[in-house]
């Protein structure tokens, strides 16, 4: 076995135990399909949207669970490449059992140092698990529509090109949890993206598709009457102005999230590619 293959750690060996790794000409060949990504949704009609499409394009299946309707969450993420908790109309402060269970469950990817992504409600759950406060804006303002976002220097290290504006649909925000890295800032809700090890929280919605936006703005007309919200026509106009940049950022971010946040198979594949590039 080559010295390169010998460096594979125990977590990688467990990941490849199915037997799809061989050594060819002194190098490691991995022909196993990527592990699925755990997807947590909160309504019967919810969709992982663009994020789901991007993960499938990267070769990952989606293991979709809806704890609100009785689905259990796994005790370990050893059989998954990572996990994503999406948004929903409920609050991380709600007393419902499934909300409490989801917040507690986030301890699994944190302990195992597996890639975790929280979007909107999922980000608020991550922040709460880490001890931060989740609450409405003090003046009752909301974000519904496209709003400017400002990446920090640490955010630019994750992705060099962030979109100028991103889509929001939320009434609550959260403090920056202690010991985490702020990746992007906003206006009424200052914490827009943060990182804790292999776990990321995004207050905004890179998952939204045009069809999702149309549904939300038709069914959620009351939300657009609240202070700070944009009228429906600006949501749709914003899509054509800003979505291409959001799509490019989402693809780059997800690739980094899975390949550099601890997904063993992706890390091996990236290492192999780098080793074959002449120095």
Q: How many CA atoms lie within 13 A of 266 on its CB side?
A: 23
CA distance 206 to 212: 11
The pair phi, psi for residue 45, each rounded to 5°, is -100, 5
Looking at residue 21, what is its pLDDT?
Answer: 39
Chain segment 163-178, per-residue pLDDT in tens: 999 999 999 999 999 9
Task: Report whether pLDDT(32) > 60.
Answer: yes
Residue with tokens 């990446």: 151
CA distance 161 to 151: 9
Chain segment 84-124, per-residue pLDDT in tens: 999 999 999 999 999 999 999 999 999 999 999 999 999 99
Looking at residue 58, what is its pLDDT?
Answer: 92
Looking at residue 261, what is its pLDDT?
Answer: 53
Reported as a pLDDT band with limits 50, 70 and 90, residue 33 is confident
227, 140 Cβ separation under 8 angstroms: yes
Chain segment 256-278, per-residue pLDDT in tens: 998 865 444 343 344 333 333 33
Looking at residue 259, what is its pLDDT?
Answer: 80
CA distance 220 to 197: 35
Looking at residue 144, what is its pLDDT?
Answer: 98
Reported as a pLDDT band with limits 50, 70 and 90, residue 24 is very low
Q: What is the mean pLDDT of the chain?
A: 86
Looking at residue 163, what is its pLDDT?
Answer: 97
Beta-ladder partners of 6: none
Task: Report whether pLDDT(205) > 70.
Answer: yes
Looking at residue 55, what is its pLDDT?
Answer: 96
The percentage of residues in the chain with a pLDDT greater than 90, rounded to a whole number, is 80
Those residues with Cβ within 8 angstroms of residue 146's Cβ, 6 or more apart along the chain or in another chain: 165, 166, 167, 168, 230, 234, 235, 238, 241, 242
């Amino acid at each position: 076995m080559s010295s390169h293959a010998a460096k594979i750690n125990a977590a990688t060996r467990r990941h490849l135990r199915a037997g799809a790794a061989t050594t060819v000409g002194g190098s490691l060949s991995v022909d196993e399909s990527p592990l699925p990504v755990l997807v947590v949704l909160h309504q019967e009609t919810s969709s992982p949207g663009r994020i789901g499409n991007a993960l499938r394009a990267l070769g990952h299946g989606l293991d979709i669970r809806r704890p609100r309707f009785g689905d259990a969450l796994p005790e370990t993420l050893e059989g998954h490449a990572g996990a994503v908790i999406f948004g929903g109309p409920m609050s991380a402060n709600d007393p419902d059992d499934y909300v409490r269970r989801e917040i507690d469950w986030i301890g699994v990817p944190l302990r195992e140092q597996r890639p975790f992504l929280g979007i909107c409600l999922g980000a608020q759950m991550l922040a709460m698990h880490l001890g931060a406060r989740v609450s409405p804006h003090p003046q009752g303002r909301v974000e519904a529509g496209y709003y400017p976002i400002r990446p920090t220097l640490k955010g630019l290290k994750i992705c060099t090109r962030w979109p100028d504006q991103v889509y929001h649909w939320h009434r609550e925000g959260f403090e920056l949890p202690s010991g985490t890295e702020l990746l992007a800032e906003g206006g009424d809700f200052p914490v827009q993206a943060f990182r804790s090890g292999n776990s990321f929280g995004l207050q905004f919605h890179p998952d939204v598709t045009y069809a999702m936006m149309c549904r939300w703005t038709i069914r959620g007309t009351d939300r657009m009457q609240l202070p700070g919200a944009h009228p429906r026509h600006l949501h749709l106009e914003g899509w054509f102005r800003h979505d291409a940049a959001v799509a490019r950022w989402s693809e780059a971010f997800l690739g980094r999230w899975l390949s550099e946040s601890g997904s063993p198979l992706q890390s091996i594949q990236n290492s192999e590619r780098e080793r074959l590039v002449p120095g």
